[in-house]
């Protein structure tokens, strides 16, 4: 598996995401993912499964320094002390002294962005966090976050799939050396049924899902999160580095984007999107 380098961070290009994954699924599927070779694990405070992730990582036999671990601070951690305490709580649940990457989960919060970026920097200086980033930020907010941070911002984790054009966000990220981490790549189940993606996959002996994952990681500075509660699909998701899409195939997938392609858009959390 290749890695994406972003402002000094080296992030495995394919991650195992745990969004909406209850503890029992984490405990059943994540050990298999690690055995197969996944080394990038993504969780968040609001997922309510950090402790289960921590249990699996602790008992996996995989050295901690071989795993790239991401978690995210939720928007209700308001005030410096509450913010810092929430990260200490996350570390305790994850059974580790540090996370490789800590993100602000959404831009909207009663805690000013300057204060949240300051807290991220403080945690990094304390060694509790190796690198910092943001999630669901617009290009304007990305630029603001970068300007407010002494430490480099290494990623913006956003919804990204063939039906949503994120060109502006990706280009803005590249300007400052950031990566983009793509979530919701299966577009709520639309991708596996897409005829264009299935036809492209057939030419490579791959599934539509594998084509979408490959499309993401084949783009410079893009990291893909995959998620499945089905153990048999883990192997499929991992096997996306043994083929390449042609320029025409990449263009055909980009052409699937549409103006109403966004799926995740909670009004009380979302920014004004690009």
CA dist., res. 37 & res. 50, Å (int): 20
pLDDT, residue 232, reads 86
Q: Where are the domains of the chain?
A: 10-254
- 118 contacts 147 by C-beta, under 8 angstroms: no
The sign of the CA dihedral 6, 11, 14, 18 is negative
pLDDT tens column, 104-138: 999 999 999 999 999 999 999 999 999 999 999 99
The pLDDT > 90 percentage for the chain reads 98
CA distances from 251 to 72, 145, 162, 206, 215 (A): 33, 31, 10, 18, 10
Q: How would residue 66 be classed by pLDDT, with cut points 50, 70 and 90? A: very high
Please, what's the largest Cα pairwise distance for the chain?
55
Q: What is the pLDDT of residues 80-99, one digit of tens each?
A: 999 999 999 999 999 999 99
pLDDT at 160: 98
Mean pLDDT of 146-170: 98
CA distance 97 to 90: 10
Helix (H, G, I), strand (E, B) or coil at 1: coil
Quickly state the pLDDT bin for 244 (edges 50, 70, 90). Answer: very high
User: What is d(CA 134, CA 156) in angstroms, rounded to the nearest whole number?
Assistant: 5
User: Is 161 among the annotated ligand-binding positions?
Assistant: no
Residue 271 has φ and ψ, to the nearest 5°, of -85, -175
Average pLDDT over residues 165-182: 97
- The model's pLDDT over 201-232, given as tens digits with 9 standing for 90+, comes to 999 999 999 999 999 999 999 999 999 999 88
For tokens 């480099």, what's the residue? 152
What's the DSSP call for residue 254?
H
Query: Could you give the dihedral angle defined by the CA atoms of residues 74, 77, 79 and 85, in that order, rounded to the nearest 10 degrees?
Result: -110
**Pair of tokens at residue 77:** 């951690």
Q: Where are the beta strands (DSSP E) in the chain?
A: 3-6, 9-12, 14-17, 40-42, 68-73, 99-104, 129-135, 153-159, 179-183, 222-226
Q: Which residues are registered as beta bridge partners of 156? A: 134, 180
Res. 191: pLDDT tops 80 = yes
Rounded CA-CA distance 201/210 in Å is 8
In sequence order, the 6+-apart residues with CB closer than 8 A to the CB of 149 are 117, 120, 121, 132
The answer, as to whether pTM is greater than 0.95, is: yes
pLDDT at 1 over 80: no
Q: Quote the pLDDT of residue 151.
A: 98
Kindly state the average pLDDT of the residues 65-74: 98
pLDDT, tens digit, 9 for 90 and up, residues 2-17 = 999 999 999 999 999 9
Query: Is 47 an active-site residue?
Result: yes
State the architecture of 10-254 in CATH terms.
Alpha-Beta Barrel (3.20)
Share of the chain above pLDDT 70, in %: 100
What local confidence, expressed as pLDDT, does residue 130 receive?
A: 98
Q: Please say if the pLDDT value at position 37 is more than 80.
A: yes
The residue annotated as part of the active site, out of 47, 160, 163, 183, is 47
């Amino acid at each position: 598996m290749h890695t994406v380098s972003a402002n000094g961070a080296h992030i495995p290009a394919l991650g195992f995401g745990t969004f909406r994954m209850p503890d029992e699924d984490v405990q059943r599927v994540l050990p298999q993912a690690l055995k197969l070779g996944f080394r990038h694990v993504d969780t968040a405070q609001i997922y309510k499964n950090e402790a289960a992730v921590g249990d699996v990582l602790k008992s996996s036999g995989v050295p901690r320094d071989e795993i790239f671990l991401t978690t995210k601070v939720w928007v209700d951690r308001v005030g410096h002390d509450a913010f810092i305490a929430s990260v200490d709580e996350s570390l305790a649940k994850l059974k580790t002294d540090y996370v490789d990457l800590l993100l602000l989960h959404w831009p909207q919060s009663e805690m000013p962005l300057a204060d949240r970026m300051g807290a991220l920097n403080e945690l990094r200086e304390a060694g509790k966090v190796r690198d910092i980033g943001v999630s669901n930020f617009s290009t304007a907010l990305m630029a603001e976050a970068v300007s407010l941070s002494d430490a480099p911002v290494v990623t913006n984790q956003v919804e990204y799939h063939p039906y949503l054009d994120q060109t502006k966000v990706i280009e803005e990220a590249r300007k400052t050396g950031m990566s983009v981490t793509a979530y919701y790549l299966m577009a709520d189940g639309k991708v596996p049924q897409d005829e264009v993606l299935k036809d492209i996959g057939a030419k490579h002996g791959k599934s539509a899902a594998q084509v979408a994952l490959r499309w993401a990681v084949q783009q410079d500075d893009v990291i893909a999160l995959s998620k499945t509660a089905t153990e048999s699909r883990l192997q499929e998701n991992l096997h996306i580095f043994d083929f390449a899409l042609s320029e025409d195939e990449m263009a055909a997938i980009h052409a699937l984007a549409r103006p109403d392609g966004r799926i995740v858009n909670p009004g009380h959390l979302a920014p004004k999107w690009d």
